[in-house]
Amino acid sequence: MTDIPLYRLRAFEASFIEPHMLFLEEYPQARDDALELLALHLMAGDQFVRGASHGLLRMCLLVESEAWLEAGRRAGYFPYAAGTPEIVIGEVPLDKLAARLGYYTGPLQEAFSSADPNRLATQLALEAEGLTPSRLEYLRLLIFAENDEQRKRIEQAEQVAALFVRRPDITMPTDAMDEISWVLHGPDDEIYEEDDPSLMEWPSRWRREQSWHERQWAENAQNLRDRVKRCRQQFEAAIAQVALDERRAGELQNRDVNAAAETVGYSEAAAVDADILYWDQEDGIGNE
């Protein structure tokens, strides 16, 4: 059956809803820890239920997906008639959790009546691929993780950055790079081409750094954000030094090649003279 809006809806469900539902099913502890935290209304400071951060992130992304659905319906991009099955987490409908998750996301169900379907289509494609593992980890650590974990993870990255500055020729093993990938690839300026204010129109705005000043939890995240920024500045300085060293090495190589060419010319000429002299001496012809 050909039905373009319904086809789009199914594609959206596959990209935006199913991965997070699958995660919560495969990691029930993360789901249950998050549900426990939400039930206990503990959302500030150090009073996190350990392990809740993974589940909370996924639940917030599911709340966001509901807002995208509504935006799509209003734009005529998705159908109104054929609905998406209600999202239930554990045994709790997502609707019931949305109010408490609003602590993290703020209000997302706003009027998107002016959303252009073309812009929506492009934005959905960009959003789907923008949620890389590094980006997810960055968001989880900044917004949902407890202080101990934040401290441990940023210290790892700071150690690598400091090592790189001291030893620009260093090579790092894969697992070490995986651990700090969130610092390298997670921040907004690694994901988005520019600081576009129109990005704030979309349901994903709750995870844009430019909206974080509106959120209560942002104060807790500021220290970590600052450390991430300083860490990245160290990486930037180190890579600039590498670039400079490579450029100098290239210039030096060119100079040596030129100098060597001149030297070879001189040696060859001297060797030719010596051979002639030797031959002459052997045969007793010529020089005496």
- Binding residues vs other proteins (CB under 8 A): 1-4, 6-7, 10-11, 14, 118-119, 121-122, 125-126, 128-130, 132, 134, 160, 164, 170-172, 174, 177, 181, 183-185, 189-190, 193, 232, 235-236, 238-240, 242-243, 246-247, 250
Tell the smallest beta-carbon distance from residue 45 to other proteins (Å).
30
Q: Measured from the CB atom, is 189 or 214 closer to other proteins?
A: 189
Query: How many other β-carbons are positioned within 10 Å of the β-carbon of residue 91?
Result: 6
Identify which of 224, 207, 212 has the alpha carbon closest to the alpha carbon of residue 150.
224
* Identity of the residue, 32 or 188, whose beta carbon is nearer to other proteins in the bound complex: 188
The least CB distance from residue 20 to other proteins, in Å, is 18
Q: Pick the closer one to other proteins by CB: 172 or 264.
A: 172
CB 170 within 8 A of CB 125: no
Strand partners, 88: 93
- In the bound complex, what is the minimum distance in angstroms from residue 160's beta carbon to other proteins? 8
Q: Is residue 77 a contact partner of residue 8, using CB atoms and an 8 Å limit?
A: yes
CA-based R_g, the chain, Å: 30
171 three-state secondary structure: coil
Q: Per this entry, what is the length of the chain?
A: 288
Cβ nearer to other proteins, comparing 30 with 136: 136
Minimum separation from the CB atom of position 195 to other proteins (A): 14
**Are 135 and 186 a contacting pair, CB within 8 Å?**
yes
* Nearest in space to 226 (alpha carbons), one of 216, 215, 214, 212: 212
Between residues 246 and 275, which has the closer beta carbon with respect to other proteins? Answer: 246
